[in-house]
Amino acid sequence: MKKLNLLYTAAFAFTAMAVNAQVQQTPVHGGGNQVIISKEKSQPATGSMFITEKYMPAKISNYDKTVLARYNAYSDTFEISDPIAGTTKILPTQTDVTIAFTTTGNTYTFKQFKTEDEEIKTGYLSIVSEKPNASIYKRERIYLQPEVFPANSYASYKAANYKKLDDEYYISLKGEDAHYFSGKKDLAKLIPAKSKEILDFIKKNKLDLEKQTDMEQIGNYIASIL
């Protein structure tokens, strides 16, 4: 009888160890609740929140001195670095204030705009072409792709990743809010009185609305015919 009891005890201990090992690796479902237990630990996100990681010289329109700045397209903010003091700060947002990078020529302005879903927002837009009666802007965005934990032993963990979205283009007519457009026909519809002229100009010059230099030409042309 003693031998039999010892056999049961050993079998129970082995079963408990096996169950415990399995619980540490797989999701546990119980009742109406779900508890996920994983051996994997979260890792730092890959990629970058910044259009350019390096701080670069920039001029702010309402500030006399040149600063070192970089654009965080994930949070839609500008970081200003002071290497002498060893500090960084977030630039306060002010409508129509511009931040111009002196080495690249890229200039950003904080404006109100209307998205593809007709939602009114404010944020930083990169200036493509800016004239009193027509301006074209580019919106740059980065999003965080969530981390992925393995669902089984055949899958692998994937860390969260910052990824750049496709640029969006906006047009502002005679000082009104900038409005999103997705292509040449969409752009022409926003200016119905000149739509044919705009489409003819784009076709004649073989312009690509995904190229910033071509968008600059289009913006300048629209400004000249309004």
Please list the pLDDT of the chain residue by residue as tens digits (226 residues). Answer: 444 343 344 444 444 444 344 434 444 444 455 555 446 788 999 999 999 999 999 999 988 999 999 999 999 999 999 999 999 999 999 988 999 999 999 999 999 999 999 999 999 999 999 999 999 999 999 999 999 998 888 889 999 999 999 999 999 999 899 999 999 999 999 999 999 999 999 999 999 999 999 999 999 999 999 9
Beta strands in 5-119 (DSSP E): 28-30, 33-35, 56-60, 66-72, 77-82, 87-90, 98-101, 107-114
Residue 52's Cβ-side half-sphere holds a number of Cα atoms within 13 Å equal to 11
**For position 127, what pLDDT does the model report?**
97
**For position 151, what pLDDT does the model report?**
87
Model confidence pLDDT, tens digit, residues 98-133: 999 999 999 999 999 999 999 999 999 999 999 999
Question: What is the value of pTM for the model shown?
Answer: 0.78
Using alpha carbons, list the distances in angstroms from residue 66 to 101, 109, 192. 9, 17, 42
